Every structure is written in structure tokens, then in C-alpha cells.
A and B are shown apart, each in its own frame.
Chain A
Amino acid sequence: MKQKEIIAVFDNDEDLVSAIRKLLENKIRIRDAYTPFPVHDVLRLLGRETRLPYFAVIAGAVNIIAALGFLYWVAVIDYPLNFGGKPAFTLPAFVVITYLLTILLTFLITSLLFQVRTGLYPGKEPEEVMEGSTDDKFILALGSNIDMNEKDRSMADSILRECGATDIIERERDNEKK
């Protein structure tokens, strides 16, 4: 299904932020924003959240248990060695391995999760390159699943102009291909 959408180009992040504020006040849906560096106001205003840190904490907790469990299994169950009568389960000596394995596994899992959640992987073709968004342009994409009506469109247009958009493009977006 093809949809119309509006692409607005800004020269700096302050204009972009003020435009987003006004559009949100007027309840116009914003699809996404493309910036050359993370602009925290934009991230906050668009209300996107990530659960990545929670996943990381859970992964870390699981990994501590897994690492200690593995060491216990090796030293006590699978192949207990007699070191001059010392106990097989030497917890202080296992702290280092547990700590390192926790870090190793947690960062591997988290960076994989990041790739899964963002859908990024080496060799992926970028879904849509907004020209200049990796250089010096701050780009706002309006419109969502429901087609914007005329009133909204003209209002969005005036807000964008007012906030200093250097370029406003109306185009058709193929929504099927994602």
C-alpha cells in the first residue's frame, strides 16, 4: 500500500526539537526522526524507550549463576581433583572466573540483542537513507498508517515552515517493503 508522507529537513537540532514539540501539541503523528548524532530531546519527545538495559541485567544475573554452576559442576561433580585434601569447591578462586565469564557472556548477549532489536547486522542494506542525515541534516518524517487528511497536512506544513525547515518534501512511501 502506498502512502503519502511529509519529509522535513532541518539544519539544526534546536529547530527540529521545537517542530516536534509543536507537532505533538497539534496531535500530528510523527513516524521517525533521523539525526547525525543522538539528540536527547528528540528521543524523549518521541517517547521511544528501550528495554535493552533490563535485558542486560537479567542476562548478567543468569550468567553469574550459569558460570558458578559450571565451575561447581566441573570441580565437584564431573572431575573432582584432590589438591592435598583441600575442598573441591574453592569459591574464592572461582570468583575471578565467574566475574570474567559474566562480563564476557553478558556483553555478547547484549550486543546480539541490540542487533536483533534494531534489525541491524553487517551487510544489511539500509532501509531508507535520508540524504544528509548522517552528515549535517536533521530530518523528520511525518505520517503513519492512516493517511493524513488535508487539514492536518496544511497545519503540519505551516508548523514546519514556521520552525525553520529548509526543505519540505511530500512523497509516496511504499509501506509493504520493510
Chain B
Amino acid sequence: MYRTAVRPALVAGEKDYRQVTRDITGPAERRPARWWYIAMGFATMALVFGLWAIFMTIYKGLGTWGLNNSIGWGWDIINFVWWIGIGHAGTAFSIFLIVFRAKWASSINRAAEAMTIFAVLNAALFPALHLGRIWLVFFIAPYPNTRGPLWVNFNSPLLWDFLAITTYLLLSLTLWYFGMIPDLATMRDRATSKVRKAVYGFFSMGWVGSVRNWIRYEALAKILGGLAAPLVVSVHTIVALDFAVSVIPGWHTTILPPYFFVGAIFSGFAMVLTIMILIRKAYSLTDFITEAHLDSICRVLIFGSMVIGLAYMTEIFIAWYSGSEYEFFTFFKSRVTGKYTSAFWIMVVCNAIIPQLLWSQKIRRSLKAMFIISVIINLGMWYERFVIIISSLAQDYLPSSWVSYSPTAVDIGIYIGTFGIFATGMLLFIRYIPIIAISEVKSLARKGKCATKTAAE
């Protein structure tokens, strides 16, 4: 697809293989710059704040959160859904690359997958803490126990969710790690210090790049990619079922699964754009993450934004068309107008309207504009989950149980703490692991040469 004279080369700058290796391994071999230490300092501070909040939650109990009898799902579930949505991008990129063979994904894939892993880890933290007694979290695993053995409820979407996230996390980790082995071997062979050689050597599994290695490796990549492809769709679908299977107005709709899925891809790609712009800037990897790459992400964002906008309109239409007065109330008297109107319109503007600016090529060329839009999208996606969860719970069937909701310092602390986990994780990743899949990019650099040759002929 990319071997045409029309599309720009995927790896710019006519590099030979050695130079590709040197450019990409560079950031993981040099001492980090000062911004890295500063960023790490802030990330650690966020992490410590989060640890305090988690400690308070476990030590004192869920009373430290802003939840009450009507609003049983607050910031915890909002942030859970938000993080897991962001976590979708990495695997989506792997699927683009392995299943659809969209070669442009190869230079972004590794970082996107790292992002997925830390985001899903963050997401998994919230339901576990929400249990209140986190030390009993293992009760959800179906194992022969002394309580009957009373099995878990296999008909419950909450259990499906547990299994979906566990599977997703393990599969993403495997896909990420196995995808890294040839590059870790490169790092091992380039290492000068004994410690580095030993550590990279340990993790590179004795990789030598022989035919025997490669042929099975490629087969494995295809199998793992093929297995991960349905998971990308299913994880957020199952999260949506947590809501859709209930009888709360505003949740009990059939549009929720596809709507959540597109939202997940949308927010994930927005986060990838944010991070790729930062990494590209910090390490000047402009030859590998070219303008064409960012442009491609933006196109996916436009598509996502339109589907999301359509979903918002459909929901509102169905609320009226269904004739259910409770649905009508939630959408028209609580969201479009009413108590949560500001959150609702922030959501619409951030997700459905502002991303339409990306139609303009001028904006797709401006790093600043793209960066701002990508952050706005993730803000909007957070508000979307806020609107769905809080507005439905705060004002449901019985006006006598209507309440307001506001988060406490502990709620906010855990949320900031997850940013700490995410940022420290990503910073360590860019410090020690080649950010871009070197072996993938090398085969692209080769194709690039052939492409220019044929174009010239």
C-alpha cells in the first residue's frame, strides 16, 4: 500500500541499517537529559500522592471516597473506564500492523503498546480498590474453594470484565515483550557494560536472528495478533455491558457496546498522538515518526469523532423515540438541559466538534494544534464517562434518593496517582527500551529504498 510514489516514505532521510540501529538505540544508551529527571521527579510526586490515597482507602475504608447510597460508582469507575479506553490504542496498533499490514503503524506500535500496558494496569487498580477489602480480591477468581465450592457468577458482566481485563493485560504484555526480543538482542550486542549485557541478555532469550528464530517468530506474531484482534473489540464491549445490562436510565441501551468501543479507540489514539508528539520532540525521531504518521493518526481521530458524534445524537433521539419517560428525563432534563448540562456540552464540544478541526491540513501539520486537540479529546472522553455514570445515578427513578456527588481528596489522589504510575512507567520505558521496533523499521527502510528506485524508473 505504501509502495507508491504518491505517499511519502515511511522512514525519511535515506538511512542505512546501521544508522537506523544507532538512531533508535541512542535514547536508551545515552544518559538521560535533564528534562527526563525533572519529569521523573513530578511523576514520582504524583505516584506518592496516589500511594497516600490508596493507603487511606485501604486503612480507613471506602468512606474516604465521595460515594453515597445513590451514587455507588463515582470517580473510581469513571477513571477505570477512562484508562481502559486509553489502553485500547496499543493493541489496535498491533492489529493494524500484524493483521491489516498497515506498515505505518510499525514505528508507533511499541510505544503505543507500552502505553496500553500502563493504562490497563491503572484501570485494573480501580475495581480492585472499589471492593473496599482489597485483600479479598482473589475471590473473583474461579478456583475450587472451601465455600461450597461456591463458584463465581459466570452470568455476571462484572466477572466477564475481570476475565476480559486479565486476558487483555496478559496478551498485551506478551505481544509487547515478544515483539521486543530481537531489539533487546540488538541492545545486548551493542552493550558495553557488563550489567547492561547481562540484563538485556537475560531478557533477549538468547535471540540470534537465525532463520529458525525468525520463521517461528513471524508465525507467533501473526497468531498473537490474530488472537488480540477480537479482544480489542471485546474488552470495551464488556465494560459497556457492565452498564447496559443494568436497569438504570441512560445505561440500559443497546447502543452502549459499539459506542464504548469507538470511544475507546478514539481516546486511545488521542493519547498516542499526545505521547508521540512528545517523544518525537524529545528525541528528535522525526525521521521515523514522520508528519505522515501523525497525519494518519489524525485521520483515525476524525473518523472516531464522527462516530462518537453520531452515537451521541442516536442516544438522544432514541431517548425521545423510545417513549420511556425515565430515559427522556435522563437525556433531556438531566444531560442536555438540567443539572449536568455543562458536563454534557463539554463532552459534545471536546469529542464531536473540536476534532473536526483536523479536517484542515494546516492543523494536521501543526504540532501544537494537534497536541492541544489530542489533550482536549482525552478531557472530553473523561467527561463522557462522568456524564454517563454520574448523571444516570444521581437522578434516577425515585426523586427522594436524588443526591449530588463530589469527589474527595482521596478520590482525586488516586486519579493523580495513576498518572504517576503511567508517567513513571513511560519514562522508564523510553529510558531503557528502544522506543521504536528496530527490526520492523529496518525492513521498512529497505522497502523505502526499493520504492524510490521504482519511482525513479
Contact between chains at B222 and A124 (CB < 8 Å): no
The contact size tier of chain A is: 35 or more
> Which of A90-98, A154-162, A170-178 is found at the contact surface with chain B?
A90-98
B207 contacts A by Cβ under 8 Å: yes
B166 contacts A by Cβ under 8 Å: yes
The contact size tier of chain B is: 35 or more
Residue from the list B148, B155, B220 in contact with A93, Cβ < 8 A: B155
Residue from the list B171, B207, B223 in contact with A52, Cβ < 8 A: B223
Contact between chains at A38 and B214 (CB < 8 Å): yes
In Å, the complex CA distance between A37 and B17 comes to: 10
Contact between chains at A78 and B151 (CB < 8 Å): yes
CB under 8 Å from chain A, chain B span 177-195? 178, 181-182, 185-186, 188-190
In Å, the complex CA distance between A99 and B219 comes to: 22
CB under 8 Å from chain A, chain B span 151-190? 151, 154-155, 159-160, 163-164, 166-167, 170-171, 174, 178, 181-182, 185-186, 188-190
Contact between chains at B154 and A53 (CB < 8 Å): no
Residue from the list A37, A75, A79, A121 in contact with B148, Cβ < 8 A: A79
B323 contacts A by Cβ under 8 Å: no
In Å, the complex CA distance between A104 and B170 comes to: 8
Kindly list chain A residues whose C-beta atoms are within 8 Å of the C-beta of B216: 50, 52, 114, 117-118
A165 contacts B by Cβ under 8 Å: no
Q: Which residue of B lies closest to A96 (CB)?
A: B160
Q: Which residue of B lies closest to A46 (CB)?
A: B211
In Å, the complex CA distance between A105 and B170 comes to: 11
Least CB distance, B242 to chain A, in whole angstroms: 12
Contact between chains at A130 and B208 (CB < 8 Å): yes
Kindly list chain B residues whose C-beta atoms are within 8 Å of the C-beta of A135: 17-18, 21, 186, 189-190
Given contacts A43-B214, A97-B160, contact A134 B151 (CB under 8 A): no
Least CB distance, A106 to chain B, in whole angstroms: 6
> Which of A1-9, A27-35, A145-153 is found at the contact surface with chain B?
A27-35
Kindly list chain A residues whose C-beta atoms are within 8 Å of the C-beta of B452: none
Interface centre among B160, B212, B213 (most CB of A within 10 A): B212
In Å, the complex CA distance between A99 and B215 comes to: 28
B206 contacts A by Cβ under 8 Å: yes
Kindly list chain B residues whose C-beta atoms are within 8 Å of the C-beta of A101: 163
Kindly list chain A residues whose C-beta atoms are within 8 Å of the C-beta of B438: 36
Q: Which residue of B lies closest to A36 (CB)?
A: B442
Kindly list chain A residues whose C-beta atoms are within 8 Å of the C-beta of B222: 53
Interface centre among B16, B181, B216 (most CB of A within 10 A): B216
B218 contacts A by Cβ under 8 Å: yes
Residue from the list B159, B188, B205, B224 in contact with A110, Cβ < 8 A: B224
Contact between chains at B163 and A100 (CB < 8 Å): yes
Kindly list chain B residues whose C-beta atoms are within 8 Å of the C-beta of A53: 219, 222-223
Contact between chains at B212 and A32 (CB < 8 Å): yes
Contact between chains at B18 and A111 (CB < 8 Å): no
Given contacts A74-B151, A100-B164, contact A120 B230 (CB under 8 A): no
Q: Which residue of A lies closest to B184 (CB)?
A: A134
Residue from the list A75, A78, A126 in contact with B208, Cβ < 8 A: A126
Kindly list chain A residues whose C-beta atoms are within 8 Å of the C-beta of B17: 36, 135-136
Kindly list chain B residues whose C-beta atoms are within 8 Å of the C-beta of A36: 17, 21, 182, 186, 209, 438-439, 442
Given contacts A53-B219, A107-B227, A135-B186, contact A34 B151 (CB under 8 A): no
Contact between chains at A37 and B151 (CB < 8 Å): no
Given contacts A38-B214, A43-B214, A134-B189, contact A108 B154 (CB under 8 A): no
Least CB distance, A28 to chain B, in whole angstroms: 16
Kindly list chain B residues whose C-beta atoms are within 8 Å of the C-beta of A168: none
Residue from the list B149, B167, B206 in contact with A79, Cβ < 8 A: B149
Contact between chains at A48 and B215 (CB < 8 Å): yes
CB under 8 Å from chain B, chain A span 31-79? 32-39, 42-43, 46, 48-50, 52-53, 56, 71, 74-75, 78-79
Contact between chains at B231 and A103 (CB < 8 Å): yes
Kindly list chain B residues whose C-beta atoms are within 8 Å of the C-beta of A123: 202, 205
Kindly list chain B residues whose C-beta atoms are within 8 Å of the C-beta of A46: 211
B238 contacts A by Cβ under 8 Å: yes
Least CB distance, A178 to chain B, in whole angstroms: 12
B32 contacts A by Cβ under 8 Å: no
Interface centre among A46, A119, A123 (most CB of B within 10 A): A123
Kindly list chain A residues whose C-beta atoms are within 8 Å of the C-beta of B443: 37-39
Kindly list chain A residues whose C-beta atoms are within 8 Å of the C-beta of B163: 97, 100-101, 104
CB under 8 Å from chain A, chain B span 99-137? none
B150 contacts A by Cβ under 8 Å: yes
In Å, the complex CA distance between A38 and B221 comes to: 12
Chain B 417-455 against A: per-residue CB contact (8 Å), 1 yes, 0 no? 000000000000000000000111011001000000000
Given A37-B442, A134-B208, 13 extra CB contacts under 8 A: A32-B212, A35-B211, A36-B182, A38-B217, A38-B218, A93-B154, A100-B164, A107-B228, A111-B220, A114-B217, A125-B206, A128-B208, A131-B189
Which residues from chain B sit less than 8 Å from chain A, CB to CB? 16-18, 21, 142, 148-151, 154-155, 159-160, 163-164, 166-167, 170-171, 174, 178, 181-182, 185-186, 188-190, 201-220, 222-224, 227-228, 230-231, 234, 238, 438-440, 442-443, 446
What are 13 A-to-B residue pairs whose CB atoms are below 8 Å? A13-B446, A35-B209, A43-B211, A43-B218, A79-B148, A79-B150, A111-B220, A114-B178, A124-B205, A127-B206, A134-B188, A134-B209, A135-B190
Which residues from chain A sit less than 8 Å from chain B, CB to CB? 12-13, 32-39, 42-43, 46, 48-50, 52-53, 56, 71, 74-75, 78-79, 83, 90, 93-94, 96-97, 99-101, 103-104, 106-108, 110-111, 114-115, 117-136
In order of increasing CB-CB distance, the 5 nearest A-B pairs are A124-B206, A136-B17, A120-B205, A136-B18, A52-B219
